[in-house]
Structure 1
């Protein structure tokens, strides 16, 4: 049964490392949450390790720069693992071919195509129109406010050509401030429902957790699963991924599921229970907002 807690400090002594989601937990896509930042700073000051594990299609350098813009200080975390880096590694290993059709906002996502050093002999990637492509690289929709169904005609063509779609962000939606936007995961879901093949590299899928583990190892830490706590507001990503990796989870109910859990400071226990039963999920802990 999920235990509702008041603050991270109630349970933090039981864990040597945290895998912390960003959007909805540490910031809202516009600005940092001061209480969340303070909680992570306190945890690190007591010797804990914080790995930011995010379904951002950006390389970690891009996320780090973004953190500064949002007001998340460097002393709130130790390292960053992004779905973008996991997906980039696969792309440069040829997962969807050399000629790719790019979906996303180029001004935001251009860094996805930066050179990568962790792949020996990377394939040469060229962005081409859909009709010339061997596969699709999806960092997000062209218009985050448009229904994913607007891509149906292009996806039908791609499916007929047996193209694979590389999804750099499995999130379906995200809240930027008060505005809900579609993410790459919604497009990948549509493509899969249409019979196409989508490749996922963020939460809840194993590649990003392998990357997070490598980030811990690079810090000289050998921490077992029982000493890691995953924190996030995505029941189908953060919590599902933690359950798949057999690590404990702290569900932040005041993010994507704020309405369903009737979170007003803290989740309504009955609404939370109903929501978790509907989602067939059982996070170890829950709280309204990270603090």
Structure 2
């Protein structure tokens, strides 16, 4: 692992600097704005992580803005309310960009998506707070649908039954409002709608992805931070599949958290516990990208 100092300008990382908890605030002092994933960084859907809450409170006290970027298929309004229920105070973050909100915007603004029935593939609980003009188009029968929207997450054993209706509908456009393939929710590893979208694509269907790792989603959030005065932004995420590749493609310095998210089991780490350097090196070797920094989790 490299111990090179941080750079004031983005440059692609060829190696990853491994940090312990005590070094996090020193790293963060080099940045004036922060872009954070939610699941695996701040919370797991059931509870917020104490270390992340403490970290957010310090950034707020320093008057350095935090913006959340999540692959949740919830609207921004629903996501914000959910965070407050978990103890994430509204004043601790400047705003949120969600895959769900990006999908909502597409359904309302893209002409070819403004007509016909919408079949929800996945678990659509959060979609009950989507705008009424979208909800009134939801259909239970995929034969009545003009397009498919992938949402939510579900137990791994439900994959086949949830994909079965999609097999004969690969002529329909599929909008994926949660690109995550795997999510840790309430301590359990479950599939996200991205798994359905991936299978749909493998069957020959056309998928439009909204959210990470598309660098466009990062740029939407980055512009919000820049509008609040941030010029040197650090992204914090837990996924080597969606978070890190997207941030690097958007040319944002990246801190990867290994012991609070989806790669914790592969690293053999306790929750927010110390990372083994050799295990980190071995895991990263299997991916074509390198985050600038790695740490167990926020504190």
TM beyond 0.5: yes
Q: Over residues 202-251 of structure 1, what are the superposed CA-to-partner deviations in whole Å (9 max), with x where a residue is unaligned? A: 1111342233134335xx42544xx1111011111111111110111110
For these two proteins, the number of residue pairs brought into alignment is: 277
Provide the C-alpha distance between the structure 2 equivalents of 1:267 and 1:83, rounded to a whole number of angstroms: 30
Report deviation, 1:6: 2.1
Match of 2:177 in 1: 168
Contact 2:66–2:95 (8 Å) recurs in 1: yes
Provide the C-alpha distance between the structure 1 equivalents of 2:185 and 2:135, rounded to a whole number of angstroms: 34
Report deviation, 1:32: 1.1
Q: Of 267, 276, 286, which residue of structure 1 is paired with 2:294? A: 286
Match of 2:228 in 1: 221
Contact 2:65–2:94 (8 Å) recurs in 1: yes
**1:99-114 → structure 2 map (5 Å cutoff):** 99=116, 100-114=118-132
Q: Of 248, 261, 268, which residue of structure 1 is paired with 2:253? A: 248
Report deviation, 1:155: 2.1
Report deviation, 1:150: 2.8
Provide the C-alpha distance between the structure 2 equivalents of 1:164 and 1:63, rounded to a whole number of angstroms: 26
Provide the C-alpha distance between the structure 2 equivalents of 1:124 and 1:105, rounded to a whole number of angstroms: 14
Match of 1:120 in 2: none
Match of 1:260 in 2: 266
Q: Over residues 119-164 of structure 1, what are the superposed CA-to-partner deviations in whole Å (9 max), with x where a residue is unaligned? A: xxxx9962232112111011135x53434233444222111xx211
Does 2:211 correspond to 1:202? yes
Report deviation, 1:181: 1.4
Q: Of 188, 192, 202, which residue of structure 1 is paired with 2:197? A: 188
In structure 1, runs of 5+ residues without a counterpart are 116-122
SS of residue matched to 1:53: strand
TM-score normalised by length of structure 2: 0.86
Match of 1:155 in 2: 166
Provide the C-alpha distance between the structure 1 equivalents of 2:172 and 2:103, rounded to a whole number of angstroms: 16
Provide the C-alpha distance between the structure 2 equivalents of 1:80 and 1:213, rounded to a whole number of angstroms: 11
Provide the C-alpha distance between the structure 1 equivalents of 2:202 and 2:119, rounded to a whole number of angstroms: 20
Provide the C-alpha distance between the structure 2 equivalents of 1:11 and 1:213, rounded to a whole number of angstroms: 19
Q: CA RMSD in A?
A: 2.0
Does 2:16 correspond to 1:5? no
Match of 1:137 in 2: 149
Contact 2:75–2:98 (8 Å) recurs in 1: yes
**Are residues 85 and 114 of structure 1, via their aligned partners in 2, closer, same or farther at CA, if it must alter by over 3 Å?**
farther
Segments of 4+ in structure 1 off by > 6 A? none
Match of 2:137 in 1: 126
Q: Which piece of structure 1 moves more, 90-99 or 126-135? A: 90-99
Provide the C-alpha distance between the structure 1 equivalents of 2:152 and 2:74, rounded to a whole number of angstroms: 11
Report deviation, 1:76: 2.4
**Are residues 169 and 95 of structure 1, via their aligned partners in 2, closer, same or farther at CA, if it must alter by over 3 Å?**
farther
Contact 1:140–1:187 (8 Å) recurs in 2: no
**Are residues 279 and 237 of structure 1, via their aligned partners in 2, closer, same or farther at CA, if it must alter by over 3 Å?**
same
